[in-house]
Structure 1
C-alpha cells in the first residue's frame, strides 16, 4: 500500500484524473481517435524527456536539445529533398549522427573541460539554432519537396499503432534498462549524488558526461527527423522553446535539478501530463497563451514538492562525505 502514495503512482492518477475531467467537460476528448492522437502527440516529448532525465540526474541540463532537433531535422529534410533517391535509412542515420555529434560537443566541453552545463548548452543552443539558418538560407523545406516515404514513416501503422508510438515505447524500455540495470546508469546517479566521491572510487566522470550528452543529442537527432517528417515541414524555428517543455516534463516527473534523483517512469508521466494539458486547452476553447502560464504553475508546484520531499527516496549510491570513505580504504 505504501507504493500507492509514492510520487509516480500519484502522478499517474493525476494524468488519468485530468483526462477524465476534461472528458466530462468535452466528451469528444475521451473518444478513441482523440486518445490515440494524445498518445501520438506525446511521443516526441517523451523521448526527449527520457534523455534529458539522465542529463539532469548528473546535475546538468541540456538547453540545446531543441536547437539540435531543428538542425538535425533540417539536415534530414534537405538531404531527402535534394536526393530523393537516397534510402530512408540513410537519411535517418544522417539525422541521428548529426544529433550525436552535436551532443558530444556539449559532453566534451562539460565533461573534459569542466565547464558549467547551463552556460555551455545555452551557448550551443544559439550556435545550433544559427546553423539551421546558415544551412537553409532561411528557406523552408515543405511537404512537396520531401519524398513520400520520408513523410509517411512516422505515422505508418504497425500492428495498429503508428511507428512513432513503437519508437517511443522502445526508447522507454531502453532508458529503463540503462537507468536500472547498467553500470553506466548507476554511475550517473552516483555522479549526481556526490560528484567528488564518484571520482574517488574510480567512476570515469568525464567519459560518463560525454556520452550522457551524446545520448541526449542522439535522441534529439532522431526526433529531428521524426518532427519534420510528421509535420512535413522544416524551417529555422522548428521546436523553438521546446527545450523548456522537455525540462518541465522532467521536473514534473520528480527529477531533481539538484541531481541524483529521478526515474524514467517519472519523466514519461511528466511528458504525458504536459501533453494532456496542451491537447485539452483547444478542446476546452481556452486560449493557448494560457498553456505557458499553466505549465509554469505546475513546474513551481513540482519544485516545491521536490524541495519539501528533499532527497528522500533517492538512489543513494555513494556516501556524501569523503571521510565516510576513508575507513573502507584501510
Structure 2
C-alpha cells in the first residue's frame, strides 16, 4: 500500500514543481515582450518613422540570424554547457559557401548543404571534446573559436565575396518574401516552433533539461548524457551553419571577419531570454525574444543617434541583470518548494 501511494505522491510533487517552473518561464517571456513593446512605443513616439514598413522589416531581418543562433545555443546552455564558437562558424560558412558558389557557379542547394556540413562538423568536434573527452566547454569552444577564425582568414587570404558573384536565387532567399512576409523571419519562426515542440513534448527533449537540472540525477535515471550533449553541440553547429548561409544570402558581400564577436551577442540573447546559464531552465521562445530585443535596442540607438558604444554597454548591463534575476528566481523557487514540501510532510 505504501509503495502504491508513494509513486502518485512523487508524480504529484513533480507536477507541482513543473507547474511552478512553467509559470516562472511564462512570466519571464511576457516581461521581455512587455519591455519590447514599451521600447518600440517610446521610440515611435520620439521618431514616428521608426515604425515604417521598411524599418520593421529591417528589425525582423536583422534579428532572424541572431535568433537562429540563439535557438541552437539554447540546446547547449540547458545542458550546463556553452558554445562560444558560433560566431566564427557563421563567418567561416558565409565565406566558404560564397567562395564555393561564386567560383564553381553552384546553386543555392549546394550552398545550403555545404553550410550545414561545415557547421555540423564544427559542432561535432566541439561535442566530442566536451562529451567524450570531458574537456570543459568554455575551454573547448574558446579554442575552436580561434581555430575557426584562423581557418577563415587562411581561406579568405584578404579576399572578399561580392554580391554580383552570388547566385540570384540565394540572394532572393535573403531579401525575398511570401505575401509580404520575408523568408528569413519565417525560417527562424519555423525552426523555433519545431525545436520548442521537440524539447517540450518528447521524452528525449526533456532529457536535455534533466541533464542541466542535475547531471548526477539524470545519470542515475539512465539518461544518455554524453549522447545528448553531443547532440546539443551538433544542433548548435548545424544552426550556425544555416546562419552562415543566411548571412551570405542577406548581405551578399562577405569578408573573413563576418559575425566577429557574435558569440557574446548570442549568449546574451539566450540569457536575457530567460535561459539559465547554469542549465535546466529556459525555452527557445524566450531566447528568440531575447534576440529580437537586443536587435531592437540596436536599431533604437541608431534611430536616436546614440553612440554605438552604449549598445555594447547596454547589452552587458542586460546580461548582468538577467543573470542576477535568474539567481534570485532560483533562490525564491527553492524557498517556495521547501515550504510546500514541509507543509505536505506535516
Kindly report which structure 2 residues correspond to 1:125-144, keeping only aligned pairs within 5 A, or say none.
Answer: 125-144=145-164
The answer as to 2:14 corresponding to 1:14 is no
Q: Secondary structure of 2:135's match?
A: coil
8 A Cα contact 1:153 1:163, kept in partner = yes
Q: Deviations 1:184-208 (Å, cap 9, x if unpaired)?
A: 2211101001112211221111111
8 A Cα contact 2:70 2:267, kept in partner = yes
Between structure 1 and structure 2, the one with the greater Rg is 2
| Distance in 1 separating the partners of 2:101 and 2:204 | 35
Q: Secondary structure of 1:6's match?
A: helix
The answer as to 2:79 corresponding to 1:71 is no
Q: Residue 276 of structure 1 aligns with which residue?
A: 296
Of 42, 53, 57, the residue aligned with 1:36 is: 57
Kindly report which structure 2 residues correspond to 1:179-328, keeping only aligned pairs within 5 A, or say none.
Answer: 179-310=199-330
Kindly report which structure 2 residues correspond to 1:98-113, keeping only aligned pairs within 5 A, or say none.
Answer: 98-113=118-133
8 A Cα contact 2:174 2:251, kept in partner = no
Q: Residue 25 of structure 1 aligns with which residue?
A: 46
Q: Residue 328 of structure 1 aligns with which residue?
A: none
| Distance in 2 separating the partners of 1:226 and 1:252 | 24
Change (3 A) 1:244 1:155: same
| Distance in 2 separating the partners of 1:228 and 1:276 | 22
| Distance in 2 separating the partners of 1:300 and 1:167 | 30
Query: What is the RMSD of the two structures over their aligned residues, measured on CA atoms?
Result: 1.7
Runs of 5+ consecutive residues of structure 1 not aligned to the other structure: 315-330
| Distance in 2 separating the partners of 1:76 and 1:182 | 34
Moved more, 282-291 or 3-12: 3-12
| Distance in 1 separating the partners of 2:332 and 2:271 | 16
8 A Cα contact 1:73 1:224, kept in partner = yes
Q: Residue 8 of structure 2 aligns with which residue?
A: none
Q: Residue 47 of structure 1 aligns with which residue?
A: 68
Of 108, 115, 118, the residue aligned with 2:135 is: 115
CA shift at 1:183, angstroms?
2.2
* Higher helix proportion: 2
Deviation beyond 4 Å, 4+ runs, structure 1: 2-5, 311-314
Moved more, 40-49 or 177-186: 177-186
| Distance in 2 separating the partners of 1:313 and 1:221 | 37
Q: Deviations 1:232-261 (Å, cap 9, x if unpaired)?
A: 122111000001000000111111111111
8 A Cα contact 1:155 1:163, kept in partner = yes
| Distance in 2 separating the partners of 1:115 and 1:145 | 41
Of 187, 190, 204, the residue aligned with 1:170 is: 190
Q: How many residues align?
A: 312
8 A Cα contact 1:67 1:128, kept in partner = yes
Runs of 5+ consecutive residues of structure 2 not aligned to the other structure: 1-19, 335-346
